[in-house]
Structures are given as structure tokens and as C-alpha cells.
């Protein structure tokens, strides 16, 4: 893509000469005689680099740098001056200028500097795009699902996001607690700062303590150098502690102190450090019951439970299964370089009647497996795992193929088939009374 260079200089001949030099390198040049018209050019054109004189009729280029960087942070500015001034050069760099050079003396430096400034501008644009993609990925509008239960949770999360309050996300494994934590962070006043996530169930007590608080060199065997902890890394941003119910009791006391004072001491250290972060915690346990059973500190529970958001399991928001499945199908079709697969009605029906003990995570895994197996661009029920294909109904509820009830139903059906539907013979072979057989036929909806 053609790069746009803005040249601001009140001396027309010098400006024209500089423009010809820059154009000879294949760049598009836009010219302005003063700061006011230069700023208008910035507003109406996608400028990459500005070459700006220091002394202009309506102001000073050194001060103008700050205005440019405030409104157009990815634009780089190279200042040109007829007389070198060290204090001006220092101030220009402080204001965000890419460089400060003297006309005439540094002419040979202009083009090499221009290319370097363009490289930096291009890198900054890529960073902005990447940050936007990350922000979009974790924004609330990308959380898939229109069920009332999910929308109520999203509204709660939106309300607490703009505060600095501690949030406790509860719900079964696989419901998407980290997705909500990321969305809360991206919609808070800490957006742009660190989002640091740590799963408390992954580490032993000693390693978890080191991961949280950091350690000093020599604090324990293997501590060969100082290490920052997640609490320090989260300074200014958000610390997400997943599965906090698994944290050992003595570490809970240390975490509570950090939450109350913003102060902590690294393992093996003696100096108190400070960290200002927002805490979002998550658990699939009932922390109230855990605290009452003395398996979780009650004072920490009350500190965490300022604002609880309970994320509903997938089986309680069946309306969300179809859009989630479609989204995952598109995602994994692209990942496996296949044409986007379609979802068969029977396939979807099986998904919507399954209980999903692993929630959204399990659904995602099932769709990925099905997309890998599919050969004709349509997901059909024969691609589903056995336990989802072979569901049975008991008291209007779906029963897993691995449940005792499901096994019993299949066995009764097999014996009935063997006796060609003779119920008296079936009851004899099953060694149960005929009345019991009829009750079970009715219970399992066998005809």
C-alpha cells in the first residue's frame, strides 16, 4: 500500500525540494505551509510520517508533536530545523518525535530516517489491529447465545465491569468463566493493562505460592534468579484466579492480606511490595458450604463474594446450543481447511436433548471431533460420540447411554426382540413378575 508522507514547511522552495526527494522513493507526498493546515491534512488523510519544520508562522513544531501524538498516536514525526538546539531536540523527543535533525547538515539522514519511521509506524498499526482483535474476541457481544438465562448474566457482568469491585464467577466446569472474566476486563477502566490468569488447581502449594507472589533468588532449591509473581504482573490490570476453591488454606490467608492492603512479600524476600490490581475469581465449588465446613476461609469468601455471577449450565439454556454449534462448526471447518460444514436436523436434535455435563467446553470438543470425521460437508448424528447418539428417555429426561437405566432398557428390548414380543416369556427370562415388566415397559416408553 502506498505510504503517505506529510511535509509541513513555510519555505515553499525547500518544501518542494524535499517533496521531490521523497516522491522519488515512490511515496505519496502531501504538503502544508503551516501547522493549522498541516493538522487539517492529518484529519483528512491517512498519514504515516510527518516531516515538520520547527519554526513556523503559527507555532512551534516541537510543541506540535504532542498534539499530533495525542490525536494520531501511530503517526511518526521527524522534526527539521535550520539551527540545531539541544534543548529543543531533547524536548522534541520527550514529546514523542521520532527524531530531530538539522536541515542541510543532515540531508543524507532524511531518507534512512524516513524508512525507519515508516517501519515503526507500520508496527504500531499492527499492534493497534491486534489489540482490537483481542478486545473484540473478549467483548460481551461475542459471547454466543440469546437465551434469557445467558442474557441476564451478561447484563450483570456489564454492570460490574465498569466498577473496580471484586467479582466471583461460579458455575459448573466448562461454562465459560474465563471468557466472562476476559470480557469484564476488556470493558473495565483497566482495559489495555495486563490480564493475568492462573488456575489454582494446576500447581502444588509451594509452586502456587511462587507463581502468585514471585520469589527471590535462593528462596528454595531451583530458585536460580528472582521471579515476578502473577500479583506483580497484574499491577494496574486484572488478576483472574480460576478454581480458587482449590487454593490451600494458608495461601488463602496471604491472598486475603494482599486484597486488604495491596501489599505482599515475595517468597524468600524481606521487602514489602505493592500491587494495585482487580481480582476476578472463579470456582465450580459452593464456597459458602466449603467455608461452613472449614475447607475454605470464611473471611476470604466474604471478601470474594462482593459480586457473584452464576453462569448457568448449557442444559439450562438449550436455545444457545444451535448458535454455539454453528459457530464451532465454522471455526473448525476453517481450522481443518474444509468447506464450511452444515448441521443436520437430527444431529442438532441430539445435541439439544443431551445433558452436557461438560457444558460449552464439551460441546466444542464434540463439534471439533465431528468436523474431523465428516466427509460430505453435513454433520449427521452417526458422527456423534456413542453416549450422545444413544440417549434414552426416563421421566421426560434424557438418560445417558452409560446410566443403569439405559442399560436396563436396552436389555429388556433385546429380550423382547428374542421372544418376538411375548411379554410373559420375557418376564420369565428376566426373572421378574409380569406386573414389574409392564411397569418398566411404561417407564422406559417401550412399545
Give me the DSSP letters along 360-411: HHHHHHHHHHHHHH-SSSEE-GGGS-HHHHS-EEETTEEE-TTSHHHHHHHH
Whether 429 and 419 have beta carbons less than 8 Å apart is answered as yes
Question: Could you tell me which of 213, 196, 206 has the C-alpha nearest to residue 255?
Answer: 213
- pLDDT of 130 reads 67
Phi-psi category of residue 359: left, alpha or beta, with phi > 0 → left and psi -120 to 50 → alpha: left
- pLDDT of 392 reads 61
CA angle in degrees (0–180, nearest 5) for 295-300-301: 70
Q: Which helix (H) or strand (E) holds 12?
A: helix 12-23
Question: Could you tell me which of 165, 158, 164, 168 has the C-alpha nearest to residue 189?
Answer: 164
CA-to-CA distance for 45 and 30, rounded, in angstroms?
9
CA-to-CA distance for 69 and 155, rounded, in angstroms?
36
Give 135's Cβ-side CA count (13 Å radius).
13
Q: How many residues does the chain have?
A: 447
Question: Could you tell me which of 143, 131, 207 has the C-alpha nearest to residue 169?
Answer: 143
CA-to-CA distance for 133 and 119, rounded, in angstroms?
21
And the C-alpha cell for 286? 459452593
CA-to-CA distance for 402 and 211, rounded, in angstroms?
40
- pLDDT of 215 reads 92
- pLDDT of 133 reads 59
CA-to-CA distance for 159 and 154, rounded, in angstroms?
9
CA-to-CA distance for 308 and 51, rounded, in angstroms?
54
Give pLDDT < 70 ranges for the chain: 1, 84, 86, 104-107, 129-138, 392-406, 447
State the maximum Cα–Cα separation within the chain, in Å, rounded to a whole number: 111
CA-to-CA distance for 218 and 215, rounded, in angstroms?
8
Distances in Å between the Cα of 204 and the Cα atoms of 86, 201, 227, 380, 393 are 57, 8, 17, 43, 43
Q: Give the burial string for 69-83 (b: 16+ CB within 10 Å, else e).
A: beebebbbbbbbbee
**Any bridge partners for residue 263, and if so which?**
274
CB atoms within 10 A of CB 29: 19
- pLDDT of 395 reads 47
- pLDDT of 327 reads 92
Amino acid at each position: 500500500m502506498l505510504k503517505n508522507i506529510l511535509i509541513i514547511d513555510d519555505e515553499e522552495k525547500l518544501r518542494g525540494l524535499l517533496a521531490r526527494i521523497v516522491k522519488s522513493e515512490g511515496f505519496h507526498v502531501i504538503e502544508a505551509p503551516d501547522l493549522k493546515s498541516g493538522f487539517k491534512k492529518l484529519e483528512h488523510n491517512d498519514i504515516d510520517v510527518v516531516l515538520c519544520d520547527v519554526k513556523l508562522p503559527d507555532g512551534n513544531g516541537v510543541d506540535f508533536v504532542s498534539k499530533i501524538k495525542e490525536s494520531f498516536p501511530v503517526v511518526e514525526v521527524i522534526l527539521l530545523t535550520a539551527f540545531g538546539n539541544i534543548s529543543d531536540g531533547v524536548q522534541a523527543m520527550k514529546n514523542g518525535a521520532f527524531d530531530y535533525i538539522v536541515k542541510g547538515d543532515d540531508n543524507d539522514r532524511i531518507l534512512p530516517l524516513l524508512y525507519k519511521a515508516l517501519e515503526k509506524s507500520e508496527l504500531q498499526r499492527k499492534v493497534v489491529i491486534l489489540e482490537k482483535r483481542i478486545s473484540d474476541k473478549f467483548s460481551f457481544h461475542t459471547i454466543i447465545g440469546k437465551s434469557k438465562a445467558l442474557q441476564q448474566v451478561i447484563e450483570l457482568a456489564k454492570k460490574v465491569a465498569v466498577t473496580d469491585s471484586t467479582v466471583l464467577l461460579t458455575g459448573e466446569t466448562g461454562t465459560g468463566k474465563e471468557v466472562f472474566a476476559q470480557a469484564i476486563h476488556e470493558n473495565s477502566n483497566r482495559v489495555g493493562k495486563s490480564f493475568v490468569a492462573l488456575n489454582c488447581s494446576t500447581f502444588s502449594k509451594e509452586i502456587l505460592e511462587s507463581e502468585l507472589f514471585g520469589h527471590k533468588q535462593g528462596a528454595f532449591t531451583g530458585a536460580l534468579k528472582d521471579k515476578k509473581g502473577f500479583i506483580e504482573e497484574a499491577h494496574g490490570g486484572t488478576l483472574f484466579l480460576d478454581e480458587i476453591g482449590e487454593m490451600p488454606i494458608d495461601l488463602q490467608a496471604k491472598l486475603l492480606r494482599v486484597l486488604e492492603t495491596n501489599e505482599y512479600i515475595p517468597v524468600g524476600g524481606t521487602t514489602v511490595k505493592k500491587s494495585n490490581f482487580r481480582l476476578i475469581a472463579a470456582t465450580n465449588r459452593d464456597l459458602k458450604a466449603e467455608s461452613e465446613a472449614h475447607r475454605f476461609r470464611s473471611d476470604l469468601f466474604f471478601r470474594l463474594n462482593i459480586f457473584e455471577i452464576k453462569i448457568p449450565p448449557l442444559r439450562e439454556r438449550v436455545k444457545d446450543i444451535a448458535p454455539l454449534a454453528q459457530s464451532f462448526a465454522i471455526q473448525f471447518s476453517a481450522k481443518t481447511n474444509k468447506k464450511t460444514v452444515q448441521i443436520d436436523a437430527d444431529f442438532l436434535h441430539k445435541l439439544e436433548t443431551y445433558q452436557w455435563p461438560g457444558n460449552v467446553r464439551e460441546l466444542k470438543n464434540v463439534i471439533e471431533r465431528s468436523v474431523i470425521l465428516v466427509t460430505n460437508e453435513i454433520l449427521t448424528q452417526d458422527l456423534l460420540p456413542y453416549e450422545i447418539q444413544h440417549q434414552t428417555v426416563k421421566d421426560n429426561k434424557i438418560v445417558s447411554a452409560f446410566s443403569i437405566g439405559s442399560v436396563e432398557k436396552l436389555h429388556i428390548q433385546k429380550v423382547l426382540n428374542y421372544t418376538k414380543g411375548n411379554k410373559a416369556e420375557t418376564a420369565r427370562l428376566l426373572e421378574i413378575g409380569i406386573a414389574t415388566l409392564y411397569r418398566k415397559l411404561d417407564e422406559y416408553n417401550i412399545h
